[in-house]
Each structure stands twice: as C-alpha cells, then as structure tokens.
Structure 1
C-alpha cells in the first residue's frame, strides 16, 4: 500500500515537474553593453514565458565564460565569434589549453542565435585632438581589456587606420572593462578604439567629461585589401548605419560624429549566444522560440534595440560572421525553432 501511495503521489506531481522552469547559469558583460542588454532582456523573456530562470553574473571576461560553457561549468554566455575560433586552435588567450584540447572544447559549443550589435569606432577628446587618425605614432591608445576579442579588434582597428603596431609605433593601453572610462577620463590615453553598441553608455560617460569626436572607418581604408581582410576576419561582420541615425542616437551629448559619406561604416564584433552541445534539445528549442517571439521587446526595450543586428530571420551564416573561418554550429533545438517559425538556416550552420 505504501508503495502504491508514493507512486500515486509522484504521478500527481508529474505535471508540475514537467512545467517547472529550468534554472540556468549565465555570464555577461558590464551594464550598458549590448551583450548585457541582450542577456538581461532574454532573462526576462524566458522568465515570462515560463521557460527558464536565468541567473546572470555581470562584468565577466567572456574569454573565460566561453571556456566555462565548453567545459560544462556554465549554461550560457554571449561569445564573440573569434573566441570559439581561437579556442578551436588553442591559440591566443587559449594557448594554455593547447590545440587538441581546444578543438575538443570548441566542438562542445553550439549557438542559439547571433547578433553583431557592437561596431569598432575611434575616438578622442576635442581638448587633446588627434590631428590625423591615419598617423598615430607615439600616441597612447586605449585598445581593449588585457586580453580577448575586443583587444584583437582594437589592435586591428589601429593597424587599419594608421598601420601601427601595439608596443612599437604606438602605446596600447589595456585595462579591465570596468576601468575603461576612468582610465580614459583620467588622462591615461590620448585616444581610444572600442567596439560599441548604439548608443553607447560608455561613450556618453566619456563625453560627460569633455567634448569628444568619434570616427568610423574611412571608405578607402574599409574597401582596401587589409580592410576587407579585417571585415571578414574571424569574429567580424559588416556594419553600416545611416550617419544621421548614428548622430541622432547621441543627440544632446557633446559628441561629434565624423564619416566620409552618409553612413557610419565599420566592422562589427560578431556574437553568438552559446550553450553546450549537451543542452537538452527541447530546452534549446524553447529558449530560441521565446527569443524569436520577443523580437519587438528586444527592439523597443532600449534605444540600442534597433541596432542589435540580432538574427530574427533567415540565417545564411556569412552575415552572422560564421560559415567562414569560424565554423560554429547551431544547436539542433535552435535550428528547429527557426525552421518552425518559417525561417531558413544555412546548411553550414547545421551539425
């Protein structure tokens, strides 16, 4: 009798067990950044949809977060796509992992969706102007945190603009993300190059200390052989916004936007929301389905919403910064969610 009673109790609870939300761990960047906005919005969407409770740690170094997802120590993280590329080869910040283990870990990563909401810019204070952005010899340029995707992109930007090399023709200044604004406003750098969403709270904070000027990549440089190499390099994607929209995003702040045509053009930092290949397929499906259904919320919940470059439609791979040097695959559950919503997914994104 006791056995029957216990079984009956379990069966009675079964519907509640099925309906219970998953509790997932995630890491993201500092508040004010595009990944932070996407992740915190996603957390709200998943909670409202009854899919999952997302416990987020802010201010993370994504180099470590991506490895933690690959190792199964973390459920989800935003991944600049250069990181899975470097991990797969065991190079750069993952040189200590080694090629063999790195390839194994990178093979454990799967994408749920993509975005390219931050684009590289170059800025300086008008009180200490850079006379020619194509000549940065001897300048102190804040070009990223001590390691990771942003530093790689920052160094690429200076190389493209002025042919400079960190530590040789100019002095690269690196600090952790939370210290970037204080370092620059405190006079620790003559200029900066940072991948930013639109509008960027960090650029507004910098301008609060004095008038600034922001440049995109001049057209001739972007269209040069080096420019195209950087544009299509692992972890990058094209980025172009009408300059008047770009200026409007910073209206009311003492920020001057300089371009050589009617668009703000640069290379974006391509991101994927990554999970482990071992994530339950139905859970991956439910997360992605909820994200797709919340398109309006993502786009209207912040001034930067329209410029997230999030993947709400068909996925060709190349536009997302994948299917080239970066060969990350999507989770089968995510693919099913896209296809059920009527979108196509390129074969190169399928496992």
Structure 2
C-alpha cells in the first residue's frame, strides 16, 4: 500500500473566522476499482472547494478500514454495509472483537452518502477449462480477498450459480486485492467471481491476456428462494442494467457478455461512505454539501460515472439497504446538507 496526498485548502467553518487547514485520513481499495474512483473524485472535489485535504491509503482491506473508522483511528472509508452489520454482532471477520464491543464500535459509525455500483459477476477465459457456470464443479475459482464482504458475496454468487460450497464442490482461491488480476491472468484459477463497477478496469486488464466471457445471475436462479434471500441479505442490493448498455461499456475489448434476457441482472454490494460519529458536524456538512454539488463531476469523470448509483437525491433507507437488518445512520451534518439541497431523508436514517 502507499499513500497519495491530494492537496487541499482551508476549511472556513464560519465566514468571519480563519481556521487551520483540515487534513483527513482515508483508506480505499486498489486503483481501477469503483470505491477508488469515488474516493479520489471526492478528494479532488474537496480540494477544489477548499474543504479539506484527504490523505488516501490505496489498496486497503476494507474490513480493517471499517474497524479503524469505528475506533476513531481513521477519518473516512468506503464501507460495504455487510461489514458494519457483522461488526455490530462481533461475528465473521470481527469475531475477535466480540458482540458487546462490536455493537459499541458499530454505533460509532455514520454515513455521508451511499452507493451500490459494485455488482457481482462470474467470468472465465474462453480458452480455459470452464465454458459456463455449469462447469464450476471441481474447478479453482477466485472468489475474493482472504476475508471480508467481497468474499462473503463471492461465495454466495457461486452457490447461487452452481449450488456448490467453497471447499466442497469447488476450490475457492483468495488473494489480497492488489494481486487479483495477476492471480487470474497467471492461470492460477479456472474462473472468477468479483463485485465490479461498469466498466471495470480489472475486467479489461484480465481480458487483455485473452478473451473472456462474463455472466450475470440468470433470472431463474435470481428469482428463486435462495436468490431472493441473497439479494435481500444484509449489505446487498438489487442491480439491473440493459444488456446493450453493459456490452457497450466493454466495446473494443475481447469481452463477451452473456445474459438470459435483455438486462444484466445480479446483486450489488451496498456501500456507505463512513466517518466517525464524532466528526465535527460542520465539517460533515461541508463535505456532504461539496459531494452533492459535485454530481456532474462524479458522473462524467469516468465511463463508469453513470453507473455509480450514488445517493444524490432523496434517501428512503430501503433503496440504500440501511433500514432493515443493516442499520447505518447518516451523520447529522450530512442530513443538514441533504435537506438544505431539498432532499427528503427517511426517519430511520436520521441519527
């Protein structure tokens, strides 16, 4: 991992007062990922607006980042919502924390905004041992990093597609995010399942080594009892894009898109941009205000911009996946920024 400092300016909390420059620490995923694009774009916007300097550590494991924000050791991170859910119960990657401390730590988290752009897909090389989801049994499948939200959803995707469990019907392979592309292109696996934005730089890099085929979740399995359970599971959200738009996003690359109808349907990881509950309200307000005003920059700064599913409008809680099993409150400063911009906020999201 390495740190990239993005220059900022002075934060003016009150018109007549002069304050020291605000520097915030943040962690995000590897370059080429959707959270990385969102975080670096936000940093540039905050710099341009003179709100704050973000010191961003790239290639982070978000499991650790979420806990660091909850403990007040980090100012900001993108959080797959399954992680605060697991933290609040002290289970999964947070089993060492325990239920009581986990609940206390999760209560220290607040959101500034939400997104759901990392959609789960399945892929393989056209020349490899797999020629479709029916060939998964007995194969080596890359299904995420060693732990965390992506591994949980990766295993769920393979179970949904094939009915197989990691370590039983197939061999799951995990590596840290920075090693994902090299693991796949190096021939260590027969196929892969990953949460990806559209278009994904990772999938383009993988296809540069040979033609690939990417699949959504067939309607029959997505609409099954298990499929609906997975879509509604804590931290997930439904995802659907016209297949022609999906194909157009990869035009010029040797990538074939396979669906069973005219849409690319799957489930996405629901994300929140999290900060400590103790963040100064005015600072949270200024950050969120700049974020909302920067909508055009988010949507036009990258080909993936139109498919970020960022929360630039009303927040009903249900669409963001935060008013059911997952509880994630907006920071009071963020609520003020949204309402000042004319947006409604569901009571279940307010602190």
Q: TM-score, normalised by structure 2?
A: 0.94
Aligned to 2:175: 175
Cα offsets for 1:165-204 (capped at 9, x unmatched): 0001100000111111111111110000000000001100
Write the distance in 1 (CA, Å) between the matches of 2:150 and 2:254: 25
Q: Counterparts of 1:59-208 in structure 2 under 5 Å?
A: 59-208=59-208
Q: Counterparts of 1:1-351 in structure 2 under 5 Å?
A: 18-351=18-351
Cα offsets for 1:211-258 (capped at 9, x unmatched): 000000000111111111100111111111111111011000000000
> Aligned in 2, Cα 1:292/1:104: closer, same or farther, shift over 3 Å?
same
Cα offsets for 1:258-310 (capped at 9, x unmatched): 00111111100110000000000010000000000000000000010000000
**What is the CA distance between 1:328 and its match in structure 2?**
1.0
Runs of 5+ unmatched residues, structure 2 = 1-13
Secondary structure, counterpart of 1:229 in structure 2: helix
Write the distance in 1 (CA, Å) between the matches of 2:20 and 2:339: 26
Cα offsets for 1:292-343 (capped at 9, x unmatched): 0000000000010000000000111111121111011110110111011000
Write the distance in 2 (CA, Å) between the matches of 1:127 and 1:322: 42
Q: Assess if the C-alpha contact under 8 Å between 1:123 and 1:191 holds in 2.
A: yes
Write the distance in 2 (CA, Å) between the matches of 1:30 and 1:21: 27
Write the distance in 2 (CA, Å) between the matches of 1:231 and 1:17: 49
Write the distance in 1 (CA, Å) between the matches of 2:114 and 2:148: 19
| Structure with a larger share of its residues in helix | 1
Runs of 5+ unmatched residues, structure 1 = 1-13
Q: Assess if the C-alpha contact under 8 Å between 1:26 and 1:77 holds in 2.
A: yes
Secondary structure, counterpart of 1:270 in structure 2: strand
**What is the CA distance between 1:21 and its match in structure 2?**
3.5
Secondary structure, counterpart of 2:321 in structure 1: coil
Write the distance in 1 (CA, Å) between the matches of 2:118 and 2:59: 17
Write the distance in 2 (CA, Å) between the matches of 1:87 and 1:294: 31
Query: How many residues are treated as equivalent by the alignment?
Result: 338
**What is the CA distance between 1:132 and its match in structure 2?**
3.9
Write the distance in 2 (CA, Å) between the matches of 1:180 and 1:135: 21
Q: Assess if the C-alpha contact under 8 Å between 2:124 and 2:131 holds in 1.
A: no
Write the distance in 2 (CA, Å) between the matches of 1:177 and 1:50: 32
Write the distance in 2 (CA, Å) between the matches of 1:71 and 1:19: 26
